[in-house]
Chain A
Amino acid sequence: MNLIIISALSGVVMMFSGLFVKNNRTISYIATALIIFLSLATMCELGAKSWFNIPQAEAMLRTSVYGKLIGVILTIATTFYFVLSGKDIERVGKHVADYYALMFFVLAGAGILLSFQNLLMLFLGVEILTIPLFILTGAQKQNLKSNEASLKYFLMGAFSTGIMLMGIVLIYGAMGSFDLSVIGKKAQFATPIHGANLMGLLLLLASMAFKVSAAPFHFWTPDVYDGAPTVFTSFMATIVKVAAVVAFIRLFEGSMEPFHTSKWQILVSILIACTLLVGNITAVFQQSVKRMLAYSSISQAGYMLFAVFAFNAFGKEGITIYGLSYSLATIGIFSVLSKMQDITFDGFNGLARQYPGIAFALTVFVLSLAGIPLTGGFLGKFYMISAGAASNSSYTWLFILAILCAAVSVYYYFRIIQAMYFKERVSDTPVFEVPVSKAFPILLIVVAALIILIGINPQILLQYLYF
């Protein structure tokens, strides 16, 4: 509850601070202070009780330890995002305070998605999560690509929300309740599964797959991520995506358990295989790093979906590690990318000579995304695949495919390292549009150190799951 209430209030505070504070830097400082307070609040909730005791909301929202831990991860990732990319958010347009406000509202939506107990709250959370994103995507009003991306995202998002509502309606028709636990109980006795219920589940699966941009529902992702201002792409590809995946798990985990027959795993395994193949193979052909990261985010979603395939403790632990390490690494890369002149691979040429600190941190991020041992990304992938193997070991082809796709991803991720260390800079144009501050490389290295820390000792994160 702390996350939902305090982030919504922070959003309102940011809106009003835009009226009174004219200096963009000050607005960024206010936002950073609020997000640090928000992370502390979520940590307090994880350690002790919530500050807000609202028993009436129990039927709608029920926080679990897992949801609280993911909330902490999301707010910590957002804190790093604000600190690393604050200056880039200021450069997007005139309404800086409003951008921050919208991002706080997104966090409120994420908070609802982490704790919903009722299908209506799922719908509400998804809406609160995505509507600010439509606006953020179109934040560069003069940029035609940004406008196009925003419209595309809005139309597609509206359709997928419609599909979700149809699914909810069908499930309500078959089960007579929106409450997840009631649905779960009734479904245990309803064999064979009611046709309407099955259809509803399929529609919900399709719309949630759209939200996490799993293939074949991924077509909006590259265009939207490419068209949106680079800083906001970073936010969408990380924090929003992790929240959506956790909502996906929460929706199908406990209440829908009776449906987890062998057929369910066939369906999800096809989804995962498509996502991994499309994401990785298309990313190989990209010239723009931004677009490559959009496809890479599709493929990373494929790994995260293993938790939906497995529904076991391994999967949950895996999402915890994966969520944090993937978010931090991607936020780090995007924070560099959004400062750069040239966002193709060539733009990275010779970066290591001019900025060794930044190049080192970027290398760690890239290694983590590719899943090289000692980084958090490796453990994340390891946990996800072993979660799948633990739940049903007969899907050997899927696990081999996942490992092969990780090998393919090494190719396009390492092109960044190759450009930074082994290529000479030909043109005289500076690497960055704006001069980077002295603190920026240090911050990046701190984030990189955090990723390695998770990779070496995941228990510092996982112990909170078993308080």
Chain B
Amino acid sequence: MYLLDALSTPAQYLPIAIQFAFGVLFVAGMIAISHFLGPKRNTSDKLDTFESGIEQIGNARQPMAIKYFLVAILFVLFDVEVIFFYPYALNFKSLGWEGFAAVCMFVTFFFAGFFYIYKKGALKWED
């Protein structure tokens, strides 16, 4: 039957409630124990933000170039589109000309998008 039919009375939810309580208590207990038992020797070096062993310079909250992000997101977009070719390649023969037309349409859309971002200047690296 349906997913939730097995659990219809409140009493049947009891194991789940126990598991929830156990989970919360376990995590809280572990944190509390390590807090009380662990040795604490605070030096200025230790309290610094960890930057892979390199001393930190300046403030992290400053504007940074969005180019990297843009290129990365465009890469992801086109990368995912290429994935659609794999199932088509496997079924190339059985899909026939109709499938070919559909893929051609897909590629056309694909290139229209590429043309758009190219014309918009999203791929221009130097300002």
Q: B-contacting residues of A (Cβ < 8 Å)?
A: 12, 15-16, 19, 172-176, 194-196
Contact of B3 among A16, A19, A173, A195 (CB under 8 A): A173
Residue from B2, B4, B8, B119 within 8 A of A19 (CB atoms): B119
**Do the beta carbons of B2 and A16 come within 8 Å of each other?**
no
Q: Find B4's partner among A12, A15, A196 (CB 8 Å cutoff).
A: A196
> Does B116 lie within 8 Å of A174, measured CB to CB?
no
B35 located at the interface, meaning its Cβ lies under 8 Å from any Cβ of chain A in the complex: no
Quick check: B4 and A16 within 8 Å, CB to CB?
Answer: no
Enumerate chain B residues within 8 angstroms of A175, measured Cβ to Cβ: 2
Q: Please report the C-alpha to C-alpha distance between residue A15 and residue B119 in the assembled complex, in whole angstroms.
A: 11
B120 / chain A contacts, CB cutoff of 8 Å: 19
Q: Whole-angstrom distance from the CB of B113 to the nearest CB of chain A? A: 10
Cβ-defined partner of A173 (8 Å) among B2, B8, B116: B2
A-contact bits for B1-36, CB 8 A (1 contact / 0 none): 011100010000000000000000000000000000
Smallest Cβ-Cβ distance to A169: which chain B residue: B3
Q: In whole angstroms, what is the CA distance A195 to B8 when docked?
A: 8
CB of A201 to closest CB in B, whole Å: 14
Knowing that A16-B112, A174-B4, A175-B2 are A-B contacts, what are 13 other residue pairs whose CB atoms are under 8 Å apart, sorted by A's residue number? A12-B112, A16-B116, A19-B116, A19-B120, A172-B3, A173-B2, A173-B4, A174-B2, A174-B3, A176-B2, A176-B3, A195-B8, A196-B4
Q: Which residues of A contact B119 (CB under 8 A)?
A: 19
Bound-complex Cα distance A12 to B115 (A):
13
Q: How far is the CB of A219 from chain B (nearest CB, A)?
A: 28
Question: Could you tell me the distance between the alpha carbons of A195 and B4 in the complex, rounded to whole angstroms?
Answer: 9
Per-position contact with A for B72-105: 1 when CB-CB < 8 Å, else 0? 0000000000000000000000000000000000
A162 to B103, CA, bound (A): 34
Q: Could you give, for residues 107-127 of chain B, a 1 whenever the CB lies within 8 Å of some chain A CB and a 0 otherwise?
A: 000001000100110000000
Q: Bound complex: CA of A194 vs CA of B112, how far in Å?
A: 49
Looking at the assembled complex, report how far the CB atom of A169 sits from the nearest CB atom of chain B, in whole angstroms. Answer: 10
Residues of chain A within 8 A of B4, CB atoms compared: 173-174, 194, 196
Q: How large is the interface on B (under 10, 10 to 19, 20 to 34, 35 or more residues)?
A: under 10
Determine the chain A residues whose CB is within 8 A of the CB of B8 once the complex forms: 194-195
Rounded to whole Å, the gap between the CB of B14 and the closest CB of chain A is 15
B86: shortest Cβ distance to chain A, in Å? Answer: 24
Task: Count chain A CB atoms within 10 A of each CB in B4, B8, B116, B120 and give the residue with the most.
Answer: B4
- The residue of chain B having its C-beta at the shortest distance from the C-beta of A16 within the complex is B116
Shortest Cβ gap from A177 to chain B (Å): 9
Chain A residue numbers with a CB within 8 Å of B112 are 12, 16
Roughly how many angstroms separate A176 CA and B8 CA in the complex, as a whole number?
A: 15
- Smallest Cβ-Cβ distance to B120: which chain A residue: A19
A330 to chain B, nearest CB (A): 33
Q: In the complex, what's the smallest C-beta–C-beta distance from A465 to chain B, in angstroms?
A: 37
A191 to chain B, nearest CB (A): 14
Name which residue of chain B comes closest to A195, CB basis: B8
| B37-94 with Cβ < 8 A to chain A | none
In Å, the complex CA distance between A172 and B3 comes to 9
The residue of chain A having its C-beta at the shortest distance from the C-beta of B118 within the complex is A19
**What residues on A are CB-neighbors of B3 within 8 Å?**
172-174, 176
Q: Give CA–CA (A41, B118) in the complex, Å.
A: 32
Distance A19 CA – B116 CA, assembled complex (angstroms): 8
Q: Which A residues touch B2, using CB under 8 A?
A: 173-176
Residues of B within 8 A of A195 (CB): 8
A-B CB contact pairs (8 Å), 21 listed: A12-B112, A15-B116, A16-B112, A16-B116, A19-B116, A19-B119, A19-B120, A172-B3, A173-B2, A173-B3, A173-B4, A174-B2, A174-B3, A174-B4, A175-B2, A176-B2, A176-B3, A194-B4, A194-B8, A195-B8, A196-B4
- With a cutoff of 8 Å between Cβ atoms, the chain B residues found around residue A12 in the complex are 112
List residues of chain B with CB within 8 A of the CB of A196: 4
9 nearest A-B residue pairs (beta carbon): A173-B3, A19-B119, A173-B4, A176-B2, A196-B4, A174-B4, A15-B116, A174-B2, A16-B116
Which residues of A lie under 8 Å from residue B116 when comparing CB positions?
Answer: 15-16, 19
List residues of chain B with CB within 8 A of the CB of A176.
2-3
B121 to chain A, nearest CB (A): 10
In the complex, which residue of chain B has the Cβ closest to the Cβ of A20?
B119
Residues of B within 8 A of A15 (CB): 116
What is the minimal beta-carbon distance from B63 to any residue of chain A, in angstroms?
13
Bound: A19/B2 CA distance, A: 52
A194 partner residues in chain B, CB cutoff 8 A? 4, 8
Give the docked Cα–Cα distance between A172 and B2 (Å).
Answer: 9
Q: Closest Cβ of chain A: how far from B70's Cβ, in Å?
A: 15
Bound: A173/B8 CA distance, A: 12
Instruction: Give Cα A16–Cα B116 distance, bound, in whole angstroms.
Output: 7
Closest to A186 in B: B2
